[in-house]
């Protein structure tokens, strides 16, 4: 049994470490910068600095006979937690280091350096349907964990939905709520429609009018994103790509990499495309986009990605920047939410003056 004074010292050390981690998490969650509305820029801390700060709070007192191993074990736990918190909120290096693939790797390591501040403009097409609010809520919870995100939510509609406006405001993610309806001529088509094209082009127009630096990423509302993906794409110079998990028999859409070089594309549907990639599998530098004023997405079902990437000419496949550890990690999944019938009307008389009527306005 350790003497009481040493037990107290260990408890004190643990308490200080916990307070530090809680404070750090609160700070890195963006909660205190976003409560006032628009998030403000936070200082870029390097993960190692945070670890050293945490370690400096731990007192190792060998003369008193306290096991050095025990204290170092405790301090390592705190350090790991700090690195994890920092990477989740993208304060500092992040789990993929500075975004250069092959850097620190999961869990962080000696290769980690500071991420240059660079905004990721996330363009999300969306449209009214029973799953919409659920899908957008899930995506927002992901984006809330990532620093320097500017979310462009573009509704396929002639009018902005007020309920969506309230919802978007509630997340505390920097955003713009835009509209861009699918042209009538495509709505009438029986087969495959150019889904989300008008919306994405509206997002690109906003970027041209408002952005000068950063990265553009098309993030559909129903996919599944790992928070680390956004740090991966943050330092894109021209166009970067990475694997996308598909829940199909092909299972994947990804650049094929051999000895660190792009040698082709793996996708269930090549169809003569120059860039046979998934919408979720690439990002473009804002500067690169601005130098190509005619770049846009064609209303061509199945060829939206290829058509858009071709309009970035001059740009060839060998210039693609490979991310996610040379395309060995899956950080995004092209998921689909099961389609559902709209809910039934409710009896307005029966539920008069109850919460049911206002809740019914939120759902479809
Ligand atoms: N979308 C849209 N209008 C439509 C259909 C889809 O704005 O009429 C959006 C949708 O919210 C999603 C993107 O376009 O963000 C791609 O659509 P979807 O997920 O249905 O395509 P899939 O993943 O099945 O190819
Ligand atoms: Mn989808």
pLDDT of residue 45: 38
The pLDDT of residue 99: 28
Q: Determine, yes or no, domain membership for 105.
A: no
How far, in Å, from the CA of 158 to the mean position of ligand 1? 16
Domain-located, residue 14: yes
- Asked if the structure places residue 145 within a domain, the reply is yes
Say if residue 152 is in the same domain as residue 275. Answer: yes
Closest CA to 45 of 16, 87, 100: 87
Last residue of a domain, one of 65, 88, 111: 88
* 195 within ligand 1 shell (Cβ under 6 A): yes
Domain match, 127 and 273 both = yes
Closest CA to 283 of 338, 344, 331: 331
Q: How many helices (H) and strands (E) does the chain have?
A: 13, 12
Closest C-alpha among 168, 193, 129, 34 to residue 340:
129
Report if residue 351 sits inside a domain. no
Nearest CA to ligand 1 atom 5: 195
Residue 364 lies in a domain: no
For residue 86, the model assigns a pLDDT of 45
Range of the domain at 214: 120-333
Is residue 346 one of the residues assigned to a domain? no
C-alpha 344 – ligand 1 centre gap (Å): 24
Is there a single domain that holds both residue 284 and residue 177? Answer: yes
- Can you spell out the DSSP letters for 251-267? -EEEEEEETTEEEEEE-
Q: Could you tell me if 246 and 174 lie in one domain?
A: yes
Ligand nearest to the CA of 178: 1
Annotated active-site residue 213? The verdict is no
Closest atom, ligand 1, to C-alpha of 124: 15
- Are residues 83 and 161 located together in one domain of the fold? no
CATH number of domain containing 315: 3.90.550.10
Catalytic option among 48, 155, 304, 305: 305
Domains identified in the chain, total number: 2
279 CA distance to ligand 1 middle (Å): 11
Q: Are residues 288 and 165 in the same domain?
A: yes
Cα dihedral sign, 107-109-115-120: negative
Is 96 contained in some domain? no
Q: Clarify whether residues 76 and 138 are in a common domain.
A: no
Ligand 1 touching residue 220 (CB < 6 A): yes
- Pairing, β 321-322 against β 239-241: parallel
Q: Is 269 found in the same domain as 138?
A: yes
pLDDT of residue 309: 99
Q: 114 in a domain, yes or no? A: no
Q: Could you tell me if 183 and 311 lie in one domain?
A: yes
Same domain flag for 201 and 275:
yes
Residue 127, CA distances (Å) to 142, 143, 148 in order: 19, 19, 25
Q: What confidence score (pLDDT) does residue 334 get?
A: 98
* 231 φ, ψ (degrees, to nearest 5): -70, -30
83 and 124 housed in the same domain = no
Q: Are 55 and 145 in the same domain? A: no
For residue 192, what pLDDT is reported? 97
Residue pLDDT tens, the chain, 364 long: 566 666 667 666 666 665 555 555 544 444 433 333 343 333 333 443 444 455 555 555 555 555 555 555 555 555 544 444 444 443 333 333 222 222 222 223 333 444 456 999 999 999 999 999 999 999 999 999 999 999 999 999 999 999 999 999 999 999 999 999 999 999 999 999 999 999 999 999 999 999 999 999 999 999 999 999 999 999 999 999 999 999 999 999 999 999 999 999 999 999 999 999 999 999 999 999 999 999 999 999 999 999 999 999 999 999 999 999 999 999 999 999 999 999 999 999 999 999 999 999 999 9
Q: Which two tokens stand for residue 42?
A: 């936070």
- Three-state DSSP at 240 gives strand
* Atom in ligand 1 nearest the alpha carbon of residue 132: 11
């Amino acid at each position: 049994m350790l003497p009481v004074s040493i037990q107290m010292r260990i408890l004190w050390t643990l308490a200080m470490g916990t307070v530090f981690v809680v404070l750090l998490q609160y700070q890195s969650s963006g909660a205190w910068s976003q409560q006032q509305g628009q998030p403000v820029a936070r200082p870029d801390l390097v993960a190692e600095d945070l670890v050293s700060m945490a370690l400096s709070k731990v007192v190792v007192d060998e003369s008193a006979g306290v096991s050095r191993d025990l204290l170092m074990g405790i301090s390592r736990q705190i350090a790991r937690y700090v690195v994890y918190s920092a990477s989740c909120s993208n304060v500092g290096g992040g789990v993929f280091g500075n975004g250069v693939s092959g850097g620190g790797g999961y869990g962080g390591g000696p290769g980690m350096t500071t991420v240059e501040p660079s905004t990721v403009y996330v363009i999300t097409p969306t449209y009214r349907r029973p799953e919409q609010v659920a899908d957008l809520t899930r995506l927002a919870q992901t984006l809330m964990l990532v620093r320097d995100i500017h979310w462009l939510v573009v509704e396929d509609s002639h009018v902005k939905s007020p309920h969506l406006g309230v919802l978007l405001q509630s997340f505390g993610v920097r955003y713009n709520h835009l509209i861009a309806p699918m042209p009538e001529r495509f709505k009438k088509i029986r087969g495959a429609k150019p889904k989300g094209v008008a919306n994405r082009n509206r997002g690109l127009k906003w970027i041209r009018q408002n952005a000068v630096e950063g990265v553009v990423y098309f993030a559909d509302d129903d996919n599944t994103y790992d928070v680390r993906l956004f740090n991966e794409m943050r330092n894109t110079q021209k166009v970067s790509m990475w694997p996308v998990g598909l829940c199909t028999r092909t299972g994947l859409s990804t650049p094929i990499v051999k000895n660190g070089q792009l040698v082709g594309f793996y996708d269930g549907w090549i169809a003569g495309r120059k860039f046979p990639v998934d919408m979720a599998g690439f990002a473009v530098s804002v500067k690169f986009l601005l130098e190509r004023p005619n770049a846009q997405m064609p209303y061509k079902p199945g060829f939206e990605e290829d058509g858009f990437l071709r309009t970035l000419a001059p740009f060839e496949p060998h210039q693609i920047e490979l991310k996610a550890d040379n395309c060995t990690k899956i950080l995004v999944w092209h998921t689909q939410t099961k389609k559902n019938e709209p809910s039934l009307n409710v009896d307005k008389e029966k539920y008069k003056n109850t919460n049911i009527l206002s809740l019914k306005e939120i759902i479809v």
